[in-house]
Amino acid sequence: MNKYQELLNRQKSYFNTSITKSLEWRIGQLDRMAGMLKENMNEFYQTVSQDFKTAISEQVFEVNAPLGIIELVKSELKNWLKPIPAAVPKFLADAGYSGAIQRDPFGSTLIIGPFNGPILLLLYPAITAISAGNTVVLKTSVDTPATSALLDKLIPQYFEPEAVAVVSGGVEEVTELLKLPFDFIFFTGSARVGKIILRAAAEHLTPVVLELGGHNPAVIDETADIADAAKKIVWGATTWAGQFCASPGYAYVHESVAEEFVKEAKKAVVELYGDDPKNNPDYSSIINAGHVKRLAGLIDQSKVVAGGESSEAERYVAPTLLYPVAWEDKIMEDEIFGPILPILTYTNLDKAISNINNAPKPLATYVFSTDKTNTDKLLKSLSFGGGGVNIVNVQLFVATLPFGGVGSSGMGNYVGKFGFDSLTNPKSILISPAGAAIDHLYPPYTMDKLQALNNWFEY
Ligand code: NAD
């Protein structure tokens, strides 16, 4: 038996004791998680910095956001665990029957994270899984060696492996893990690997949440506050050097305000990062030279209106604006996942909507407008996981909003109560008082009894 199978067996036996189902166990594990983050906060900040040279604000999001969600979950958990009463048909209620829904954990959850958000995107799902009463196996990313090494060290110090364990490794290790009958798989990463996960999960009929990426539009109509839109969109597309799943992937601007948008976007790049972004501590590195090469290959130098430079040795791609970009351009083929913002124009909103709808469904969509009719039309006509009006990126950190994709950007969602629901099975229970039979279920089936069956749908 290999070590992963042993680990899974251990977690399953532990889960089957029902210990994870108590409120105390869940709160206890969440407290351990909070303790791990608080007691090692500086080390976490440093490792994120080592992996990304990233801005302090992003380090804070990585570590402080999980702490915030732990507090929120802890304050709500007792209510979430209460069985939910369900109405029953009138004749059953009259006979003393009642219905209840009990949210039941699945068991051992395999959590696979991406390289970006190497703490947040492992611990957010882990907090969700624990709050739902599941055990957890975390798979760290090989692309973030410093952060992964820290989690490899700390998780065994703070958790029993039968409750929360960590596994490091890349494709080979994930392939081995995917052969096992986990009770749930929570995957965050690319659509390409998402398909591999879903195929493997099918073998054991394991339920999944897939948090994937997408090429996210930001639509700017002729009524938008252009300076505000440009600064927010440039920030959204370049923060974490664009290595953020919900970043705007392209700006789609009404032609009458396109020149103004480009002017404001260029201004925003300088306001955010100065004249030398490479040496600005608030500007992140690209995760590795391979991704720099990929991104550099997407930049059509004839369309560069800001930035355009890159250096594999320094893991650097400048905050880059491309204009005017057409749908046929290479940069529009797929999610960019880097600090490059293509700017396209439209003349007719219906045509713009149809162009967006012809592309795979994105994870996020942003609308910049002061016109209610346009805003409502865009929000209604476009299919996307989540998004914002006159704001980008930060919807992910609003714990009362579900986070997840749709279509090729993923399935299932989480954060707060939504995650609790995704990581539990709504077990339905109909309770009869002892001795209260439903006579018309028993033969002989007289006309009166058949007639009584119609009562099933009266509530
Ligand atoms: P990735 O899909 O390459 O890797 C994700 C995980 O899968 C890693 O842990 C990796 O080790 C593993 N993996 C890679 N190849 C595999 C294979 N062939 N078989 C099995 N496992 C494999 O993604 P990435 O490059 O680390 O991250 C970027 C992607 O993640 C982007 O597409 C981004 O949009 C997406 N993402 C989505 C969200 C979200 O919440 N929706 C958040 C962050 C990132």
| Ligand 1 pocket residue status of 290, Cβ below 6 Å | no
| Ligand 1 pocket residue status of 368, Cβ below 6 Å | no
Pocket test for ligand 1, best of 173, 182, 193 (most atoms within 8 A of CB): 193
| Ligand 1 pocket residue status of 112, Cβ below 6 Å | yes
Nearest-atom number in ligand 1 for the CA of 139 is 9
Which stretch of 253-257, 278-282, 421-425 has the lowest confidence by average pLDDT? 278-282
Q: What are phi and psi of 10, to 5 degrees?
A: -65, -45
| Ligand 1 pocket residue status of 336, Cβ below 6 Å | no
pLDDT for residue 1? 66
DSSP state letter for 40: T
> Are 241 and 285 contacting, i.e. CB atoms less than 8 angstroms apart?
yes
43 is catalytic: no
| DSSP run (H or E) holding 86 | strand 84-86
Nearest-atom number in ligand 1 for the CA of 211 is 41
211 is catalytic: yes
- 32-58 pLDDT, tens per residue? 999 999 999 999 999 988 888 766 777
Catalytic residue among 58, 245, 264, 335: 245
> Are 208 and 186 contacting, i.e. CB atoms less than 8 angstroms apart?
yes
For ligand 1, atom 43: residue with the closest CA: 245
| pLDDT exceeds 80 at position 59 | no
Catalytic residue among 211, 222, 260, 309: 211
**Which domains are delineated in the chain?**
3-212+412-425 (3.40.605.10), 217-404 (3.40.309.10)
Q: How many CA atoms, within 13 angstroms, populate the side-chain half-sphere of residue 129? A: 30
295 CA distance to ligand 1 centroid (A)?
17
Paired sense of beta strands 108-112 and 184-188, if any: parallel
What is the pLDDT confidence band of residue 360, given thresholds at 50, 70 and 90?
very high
209 CA distance to ligand 1 centroid (A)?
13
| pLDDT exceeds 80 at position 233 | yes
Paired sense of beta strands 164-167 and 135-139, if any: parallel
- 121-168 pLDDT, tens per residue? 999 999 999 999 999 999 998 999 999 999 999 999 999 999 999 999
Question: In whole angstroms, what is the distance from residue 25 CA to residue 130 CA?
Answer: 9
| pLDDT exceeds 90 at position 60 | no
pLDDT for residue 456? 87
- 78-90 pLDDT, tens per residue? 999 999 999 999 9
Pocket test for ligand 1, best of 111, 245, 393, 396 (most atoms within 8 A of CB): 245
In one-letter notation, the amino acid at residue 383 is S
| Ligand 1 pocket residue status of 121, Cβ below 6 Å | yes
| Ligand 1 pocket residue status of 245, Cβ below 6 Å | yes
- CB count within 10 Å of CB 437 equals 9
> Are 321 and 304 contacting, i.e. CB atoms less than 8 angstroms apart?
yes
Nearest-atom number in ligand 1 for the CA of 363 is 41
Mean pLDDT of the chain: 95
| pLDDT exceeds 90 at position 62 | no
| pLDDT exceeds 90 at position 15 | yes
Q: Who wins on pLDDT, 55 or 333?
A: 333
